[in-house]
Structures are given as C-alpha cells and as structure tokens.
Structure 1
Amino acid sequence: MATDLDAEFPCSLQLDVPFPTARLSSIAEKAMSVDAELSPLVRRTFSTVTAPGGGDDGEQSVLRVQYKATTNRMLRVSVNSFLDSLALVLEVMERLDADVLKSGPIEPQPGPFR
C-alpha cells in the first residue's frame, strides 16, 4: 500500500523546524495542525521529535512536517502557505510567550534543507 501512495504522491519534502523547548514545538504543532490541507492533491503530517543533542531533559525539540503531493507545483504552493502560517505562529510566540521572552528572539538555525 505504501508504494501505491508514493506512486500517487511522488513529490515529497520534509521540513524540520527547531524550537528551544518541547513545549513550544508542541504549541506550534497544535496551532498548525488545526487547519486541514485544502487540496486533496497534497498530504501533510506533523510530528515533534527531540532535537539532536537535545539530551534527556528534552529541552530542544523539532517540529517535523512531511509533505507529499501529486506535482511539484502543488508541493510548492502548500509549503509556501505553511511557511507563511509558521511565520505568524513564531511572531505570536515571540511577542506573547513567557519562555520565548526569557530566552530572547528565536534565531534561525543553520542546517541542511530536506
């Protein structure tokens, strides 16, 4: 069955968005997953994972978003929309969340795009 899904949705992308705490990545996941993907030509899944080097305390966490689409165009449109929404979520976190205020602005993290 997995091969049928891959044949139907051949274009894919995985985005890893690092957060300073597991709580913030969980908040972002909940905020972003409320809205269903508008197109039936795109599949999207969210998960949170411990960041490499995050340690046992689970301080650093990553919001992982996996996209599959029927065409590169549909993938691009969906990911662009997601990035706009993510920018809004991050802006709200920076302005309103106590954890972010203590640690300062969320800085872009270097790393490869997937």
Structure 2
Amino acid sequence: MPSRVVDVPLLSNRLASTAMRALQVDAELSPLVRRNFTVVAADRVNGDVAEEQKNAADDSHKTILRTEYSATTNRMLRVAVNGFMESLGVVLQVMQELDVDVLESRS
C-alpha cells in the first residue's frame, strides 16, 4: 500500500495546531485513502527519542504539522497529496495575511 509523510515546519505550536484544525475539517473524498494529522516536535522528525521524551509534556516544542497518507494505488496517493498541498497553500496564505507572527519580521 503506497504511503507518504508530509512534514510542514511552522513557527509555533499555535500555528501548527491551527493549520491542523483547519485542514482536518475536509474529509478525504475516497474511502480508499487514509489520512492522519498530528503536531510533532522537530526532535521526533529527526529521530531524537531522548529529547522527545524530555519535551513530551511541553507542547510548545511541537511546531511541525505531520500528515500521513496511505492509499490503495500510487495514483490515488498522488491525487490526495496534491489536493492537500493546495489546501495547505490556502491555509498558510490566510495565516500569513491575518496573523502577526506567521513570518519573521521584515526590516
């Protein structure tokens, strides 16, 4: 079964959680595609289990939106991930325009 993990680093736990909640509302169109959202720490992405356990109680380190996809065919996986990327682009654009701490200060 084809699968793909997409990790999107954001600047804060609040932004990662907000993006996750915004994207979760749209169900997958095909019952043959599975999607799972989580917000994880960078340590988990890099595989540092000891650091992950140390920071487990502190959600502020969880700044990466992780989306895990699996589908019955490569084509279904590609279509699902492409749709996700389009939705993610819209969510990030709205966050950039409406939130004060999405992008680092420009001087």
Structures share a fold, TM > 0.5?
yes
Q: Which runs of 4+ in 1 moved over 2 A?
A: 55-60
Greater relative contact order, per chain length (Cα 8 Å cut-off, separation 6+): 2
The size of the alignment, in residue pairs, is: 95
Where does the alignment leave 5 or more consecutive residues of structure 2 unmatched?
A: 44-50
Identity %: 53
1:51 aligns with 2:30: no
- Whichever residue aligns with residue 16 of structure 1, its letter is D
Conserved 8 A contact 2:40-2:62: no
- TM-score (structure 1 length as normaliser): 0.75
- Whichever residue aligns with residue 98 of structure 2, its letter is L
The partner residue of 1:76 within 62, 75, 78 is 78
Distance 1:60 1:44 in 2: 19
Conserved 8 A contact 2:42-2:64: yes
SS in structure 1 at match of 2:89: helix
1:22 aligns with 2:8: no
SS in structure 2 at match of 1:98: coil
Where does the alignment leave 5 or more consecutive residues of structure 1 unmatched?
A: 1-9, 106-114
